Structure 1
Amino acid sequence: MVLWNGIPMYAPLTPEYYAIPGAQRCVFRIMQDQGDTQAWNLYWLTKPETDNLLVRKEEWFNYYHSLSETQTEAFYEALDTEVSQRLTLASVVALAPREAIHLVANAQLEKTRFYHLYDGEAWRQTMMGRLFLAARLERDHLPPPTEQADVVWIDFHTRHHGLRNGTQHRPG
């Protein structure tokens, strides 16, 4: 799992890599400067076209559209809104992707102004798809196991135990 400021980062890279050429105060540089991992996670979940900035920066204006000023205000308000089990949306997107998937699926996103200004339930579906992608990216970045170990199992009812290779032993 890639951590940024001690929080799982869903995107493959920090916001600085997505910064729009020539723009001194683009949203990506602001998030990078503030070290705002939760905002970055939510933004990356919300706007899939952001990934195009990694490969087509010189043509960003053809496919990338920033949030409006009103949407941006609502976006940051949404981070501070309780949406699931007394958790704010910022708390939810600070969790590992696999944990966040279950919470976002059932979150009360409609409590946020952003939900109503952006895409409603389509926003949730976009975030869910991106969370599954983040979980896959996380899995692909796990280091390979360094040691092989046999697994010991014990059946407490019959008092049998054994190793993964199927050897069984009775207590003596």
Structure 2
Amino acid sequence: MQLNHYTITRQGAEVLKQLIAFVSQDVFDERRHDGGIGKSAAFLAIINDVRGALEQIGAYDYDHENDDDLPPYTFWWEGPFDLPSNEIEHALAVETEGRPGLVFKRVQVNTASPSGYFADLQIVIDEAQGKICTLISIPIDRTELNLGPNWYDIGENLEVTVGLIVDGIETHPAWVRYFQSQA
């Protein structure tokens, strides 16, 4: 038995790749001063070390990188959370003013960038009409870009609708170009 020699099976490499993909996207070890979550430099270094080890043994196939259908980053979201009335963006408040029975929610949109945070999605639910109104707030270079308000049909349910909206943000050509320019 050689204690200094290790082997890994193809199945073992696939399991590690899946684990690293999950940890890269969904696991955070640091809370920011604004309440957001992210990955510390030490945690990112560990993730990169494992990726590097898997790359050295040839466990990654990079053929998919030229696929135009795949964004160069991944978004996911948390929520919806209740949105206090004092945090509602002005444009969204004006758009929904005078409509009875509205429910206000907030969704945090995250990306795999080191900060983990990308945008806030404010949602107003009009259950009587089967609609939601959204406003996306994206902090960029010391300013905030607000997109909306926009009305959508709720569709199958709120979770599916929010997922479609976040997917639309992720694959929008403006963000694909923005993230490519940041790389």
Scaled by the length of structure 2, what TM-score is found? 0.22
Flag the structure with higher strand content: 2
Flag the structure with higher helix content: 1
Higher Rg of the two aligned structures: 1
